[in-house]
Structure 1
Amino acid sequence: MLKAYKYRLYPTKEQQEMLFKHFGACRFIYNWGLEQKIKTYEQDGKSVSRFDLNKGITMLKRDGEHEWLKEVNSQSLQGATLNLDNAFTRFFREKKGFPKFKSRKNPVQAYNVPQNYKVDFENNMIYLPKIGNVKTILHRSLGNGDLKTATVSQTSTGKFYISILVDDGGENLKKMEFSENDTVGVDVGIKDFAIMSNGDKIDNPRHLKNSMKRLKVLSKRLSRKQKDSSNRNKARKQVAKLHEKISNQRHDFQHKVSAKLVSENQAIAIETLNVSGMLKNHHLAQRIADASWSSFVEKLEYKAEWYGKTILRIGQFEPSTKICNVCGKYNGSLTLADRKWECLDCNTTHDRDINAAINIKTFALQEQNLIGI
């Protein structure tokens, strides 16, 4: 099983300069490789392989104009061509969008270290090729697995991190058996972040909304600064720090909720949502983005894999909200404003979200409605 461990780096000024050289060189190779692929396809109708691009990197180092590429780790340069290859794979297989050229103005930069790095827990150091031993906060063990690719990154606030991929050699845990009693249906929402089929509700903390007043002040200050000035860069960092705080709050909240759900249930039933389509509703887009449902579902899925739990999905067109969970009556007149409604057949009064969560669980436990199980 593959797991990633992320640690904060504290490089010296000299080491920061070398990190910036690696960021720039890998970005240059990525853009150069993308240009080569586009030109070759336009001229010959053929695709350039990653291995041909790697041979081209050697030729670039030999000409006088690009000798500076010798100053950085050669395997990291080849990692840039691998990233480009993966981007084209996602484009053709998953229709994720054609690869774009990377900008040096992007405050978020990263490069890969495929091998030859070393982790020293005794001295809180990580050795990086061409850079040396970098002070690191190694706050948790990597275990006894094999170290795979490491990724060094810089955030928009100027912090440096390293993410290490580890293969522990073990297989995914066998899925535990589940029944109706140990399965919970979860309906995500805006007013309440998550509503369970057992009637429990988890409030939506609305991290972005709570910081919006301060964010508007900082954004206005940024807009008034002269472009490319040092004061504008300082103002940009202030905005970036607040966005980073909001993001950290959101991820912390979602990790706690997802861990609680996975630990307390053998199976979790969720609804497949077209989030990108829902974001086109300009009245609710900001609240939907603040809730970040896709990120929450992703955390549920990989934690369920870790602990042998099951995620059940139902189709996005299942009418979970409009069907009475008692008698099955369909209420076609229900609108988004109706938070409670009464069934005309059995006279049961429903809480809109709890009824939806119960129906999600019911639909998921019906074999014909399961997706990807």
Structure 2
Amino acid sequence: MTLARTFGCARFAYNYMLRLRTDAWYQRQERVGYHETSAALTALKKTEDHAWLNEVSSVPVQQALRHLQTAFANFFAKRAKYPGFRRKDGRQSAEYTSSAFKWDGTSLKLAKMDAPLAIRWSRTLPKGAKPTTVTVSKDTAGRYHVSILCDDAVPAKRTANGQIGIDLGLTHFAILSSGEKIGAPNTFRKYENKLAKLQRRLAKKQKGSVRRAKAKLTVAKLHAKVADVRRDFLHKLSTRLINENQVIAIESLAVSNMQKNGRLAKSIGDASWSEFVRQLTYKAEWYGRTLVGIDRWYPSSKRCSDCGHTVQKMPLNVRSWMCRECGAIQDRDVNAARNVLAAGLAVSAHGESVDPMSR
């Protein structure tokens, strides 16, 4: 109950001050910043109608105003859209700074809570780590999560001998220059029919009823399962490639543009190429690996990886072809991965730019 009240107070403060700042600008052309909203929150707590804001820790409520300020800063910097109101049935979170929690090395107790949280740890904190921020969140599937921020030195990995080029696809998620083809998990496709059935049941429930709430939770749990399975696959694959290879070359893709293709948008979204590249990027930085992005216009599929001859045209339905110059029979995807690796090694060794027009 304490967490539920804290979520509600933080959400209310965020939405109330968002409305305050929006009205101040559109009605009076007046800019309201963090300090003004903080003073407004203090005055609001003193009113009889909003005295319930004092029943929870003041830190998560105050942090909500900081998050609102960050949202506006991202909007003015054109990094994000205009801040939106937080929903009661959406993801909930409360952020506690060091003054609002106690950590004794084994248990975590939050302000205005009688007992420590019952946590099932997914990993242990580093020895001697001093947490600075604790974020408790609840997703739409009803699951609670605790995220603890602390200083952590990532242990270095030994230099690997491998070098790999990666060509991403839909039939196979990743094709490696070694010739290995990693099948696409098609996570969403596997649960698509079951999800459609559950959503049809949800649509028939009366709005505001208890049965609708239960049906909505069931749908959210299935969505969460799909996301967890997909994330697990991406983490295992990216970690394996980072452990085995010192240099990783991958083609840069304009995923947002590719998703404009109505026939492929669902499969591209299910593949989560952008998330895979994001994981490779930060893991390579952590462990001292070299990740090279190759320009998407580089003719990796049309160039023979044996002799360098480039075919003028190659439709998507051509999956294997014979080079007219050297006679080598090339698998389209494996050949592309090998060319991506060669281009990546050139960039890594000499700092060259891979320009398809100059090759």
RMSD after superposition:
2.3
Q: How do residues 80-229 of structure 1 correspond to structure 2 at under 5 angstroms? A: 80-106=64-90, 108-115=91-98, 116-120=100-104, 122=106, 125-132=107-114, 133-143=116-126, 144-168=128-152, 170=153, 182-229=162-209
Q: What is the DSSP-based 3-state SS (H/G/I as helix, E as strand, rest coil) of the residue aligned with 1:137?
A: coil
Q: CA deviation at 1:315?
A: 2.4
Q: 1:328 aligns with which of 296, 308, 330?
A: 308
SS at match of 2:299: coil
Q: Percent identity?
A: 39
> In the alignment, is the contact (CA less than 8 A) between 2:102 and 2:110 conserved in 1?
yes
Alignment-mate amino acid for residue 244 of structure 1: A
Question: What's the CA shift for 1:46?
Answer: 5.0
Q: Distance in 2 between matches of 1:338 and 1:118?
A: 62
Where structure 2 has 5 or more consecutive residues not aligned to the other structure, the ranges are 355-359
Query: Greater shift after overlay, 344-353 or 113-122?
Result: 113-122
Residue 20 of structure 2 aligns to which amino acid in structure 1? Q
**Equivalent position of 2:22 in the other structure:** 38
Give the partner amino acid of 1:182: G
Distance 1:47 1:345, change over 3 A: farther
Tell me, in whole angstroms, the C-alpha distance in 2 between the residues paired with 1:272 and 1:368: 16
Aligned residue in 2 for 1:265:
245
Report the 3-state secondary structure (helix = DSSP H, G, I; strand = E; otherwise coil) of the residue aligned with 1:156: coil
Match of 1:55 among 39, 57, 64: 39
Q: What is the Cα deviation at residue 363 of structure 1?
A: 2.0
Q: Would you say the 8 A contact 2:248–2:344 is kept in 1? A: no
**Is the CA contact (8 Å cut-off) linking 1:176 and 1:310 kept in structure 2?**
no
Q: Output one character per residue of 1:22-62: Cα deviation in whole Å (capped at 9) or x when no partner.
A: 11111111122222332333355453222222222111111
Most deviating of 310-319 and 281-290? 310-319
**CA distance, structure 2, for counterparts of residue 359 and residue 307 of structure 1:** 25
Partner SS, residue 283 of structure 1: coil
CA distance in 2, matches of 1:356, 1:20: 52
Partner of residue 68 from structure 1, selected from 36, 52, 66:
52
TM-score, normalised by the number of residues in structure 2: 0.89
How far the C-alpha of 1:233 sits from its partner, in A, is 1.4
User: Hey, what's the Cα distance between the residues in 2 that align with 1:368 and 1:86?
Assistant: 38
CA distance in 1: counterparts of 2:69 and 2:352, whole angstroms = 38
Distance 1:24 1:358, change over 3 A: same
2:357 matched residue in structure 1: none
Q: Does 1:78 align with 2:51?
A: no
SS in structure 2 at match of 1:277: helix
Q: Does 1:244 align with 2:202?
A: no
Cα shift at 1:166 = 1.6
- Alignment deviations for residues 186-208 of structure 1 (CA, whole Å, 9 cap, x no partner): 11111111111111111112121
Contact 1:273 1:316 (8 Å CA) reproduced = yes
Q: How far did residue 262 of structure 1 move? A: 0.5
Q: Secondary structure at the match of 2:132?
A: strand
The 2-side partners of 1:99 and 1:319 are apart by 41
Which amino acid counterpart does residue 360 of structure 1 have in structure 2? V
Work out the CA distance in 1 between the residues paired with 2:336 and 2:63: 46
Deviates more, 1:44-53 or 1:220-229: 44-53
CA distance in 1 between partners of 2:178 and 2:10 (Å): 51
Shift of residue 119 of structure 1? 3.5
Structure 1: segments with no counterpart, 5+ residues: 1-16
Equivalent residue, structure 2, for 1:290: 270
2:5 aligned partner: 21
Indicate if the aligned counterparts of 1:121 and 1:138 stay in contact, CA closer than 8 A.
no
- Indicate the SS of the match to 2:119: strand
Offset at 1:20?
1.6
SS of equivalent to 1:64: coil
C-alpha spacing 1:264/1:53, structure 2 compared with 1 (3 Å): same
Partner of 2:341: 361
1:324, 1:85 → 2: CA distance?
Answer: 53
The one-letter code matched in structure 1 to 2:238 is S
Match of 2:210 among 226, 230, 233: 230
Per-residue deviation, 1:258: 0.9
Q: Distance in 2 between matches of 1:223 and 1:284?
A: 27
CA distance in 1 between partners of 2:42 and 2:164 (Å): 56
User: How many residues get paired?
Assistant: 347
